[in-house]
Chain A
């Protein structure tokens, strides 16, 4: 069974204070690792897909990286609007994704 663990559960940052979120996973055959952003009361918004170790993707202040056992989401010089819950998910051998519990990021001005 695929398993996804995200840490920390919550992260409080000062505006401009860079940090990283961790997503560790066990999967029988990785077809993709996905990062989502979720604002309170809304559906998750797709951010990135990573397919193989060593791959990196960037979007504004967010950068996602992938190794064989974990992925990191780096937030560089965050702003208050980056406050959200960030979800990680893995896909293995079929259509389904297994999600982690998420990391809630709060950025204070």
Chain B
């Protein structure tokens, strides 16, 4: 079974703090993704990575950065947290085989910025 783990289930931070969210997958997947999920807005892609040290912006990258130093680990960084970044953050990974690339999700991190 694919397993994607996230460093925290719940996190409370103050405005202006630097926040690190970590994601680890154990299936040797090439692709990793960070989403945020908000009521009424669905899942929105922040960043994704298709290889170590490679990254591409998703639909809403502003205010975020990412790091992928090892294949199994993908970190999301909020440089200076703001209240509008309060959300559920979901990490996912996928194996790109050319024809099949379903994504497997972690349990999520509920981030509250006060």
Task: Give the interface of A toward B (CB within 8 A).
Answer: 31-32, 34, 36, 41-46, 49, 51, 87, 89, 91, 95-97, 99-102
The 10 tightest CB contacts between A and B, nearest first, are: A43-B105, A99-B43, A101-B42, A43-B108, A44-B105, A95-B31, A43-B107, A49-B102, A43-B106, A46-B102
Let me know if B104 is at the binding interface, CB within 8 A.
yes
Excluding A43-B90, A96-B48, 4 further A-B contacts by CB distance (< 8 Å) are A34-B103, A51-B99, A95-B31, A97-B103
Chain B residue nearest to A42 (CB atoms) is: B107
Task: Give the interface of B toward A (CB within 8 A).
Answer: 4, 31, 33, 40-43, 45, 48, 50, 58, 90, 92, 94, 96, 99-108, 110
Among candidates A31, A42, A43, A89, residue contacting B99 with C-beta atoms closer than 8 Å = A31
- Shortest beta-carbon distance from A33 to chain B in Å: 10
| B42 with A102: CB separation less than 8 A | yes
Among candidates A31, A36, A42, A102, residue contacting B101 with C-beta atoms closer than 8 Å = A31
- Shortest beta-carbon distance from A8 to chain B in Å: 15
